[in-house]
Chain A
């Protein structure tokens, strides 16, 4: 059962444009929603993350919008640059039973972003 659905699978934007990637989750117990960026040959790197008690979080050109009632969240990349070309993964997690860990992430299938110069 896929608990986090991500779309689109691939995205092409022009330099300076806005890239938008969407995710939907099923498990209402999730309370931590990170986005990861992965370049070829590298492991995923944390980009930005949000908790469900806020509807939006912005860090530089990256913004997460969160809609708790719809169980959806999205990543917006403003002024997209060729260097942003990578695979982006949304993920969701909840604390473990002991309340000490968010180590078990459930990932979306990924979006391959290509930014043309």
Chain B
């Protein structure tokens, strides 16, 4: 069974631009969660989607948004990029039916210059 796939693996953007990251969950998983990982703040929850609906949200500004498609694939978007948005963005999938196990992808490393 294929794992969680995130694309692209690396991304370089400049301040003020916007970026879209993609995540394909494990086949059969309907829940996708997004996390930001930085050396200073560690791993922080962004949001979770299930059946195309956001059902959990972290404490990030509105510049961070996401969506989920009918095939459970998810995208997250960051608008008006700031230097502090440089981070590893991780996607995790789970069955979404009350199961606790999250399976993480390898992430997208975003650098904002």
Contact = CB atoms under 8 A, between A and B. Distances in A.
Interface of A: 32, 34, 36, 41-46, 49, 89, 91, 93, 95-96, 98-110
A5 to B, nearest CB: 11
Nearest to A45: B104
Contacts, number: 77
A100 B98 contact: yes
Nearest to B50: A101
Given A101-B50, A103-B48, A96 B56 contact: yes
19 contacts: A34-B100, A36-B104, A41-B106, A43-B4, A43-B107, A46-B103, A49-B100, A96-B55, A96-B56, A100-B97, A100-B98, A102-B94, A103-B31, A103-B92, A103-B102, A104-B33, A104-B45, A104-B48, A107-B44
B91 to A, nearest CB: 8
Interface bin, chain B? 20 to 34
A95 B31 CA distance: 14
A106 B105 CA distance: 18
Contacts of B50: 100-101, 103
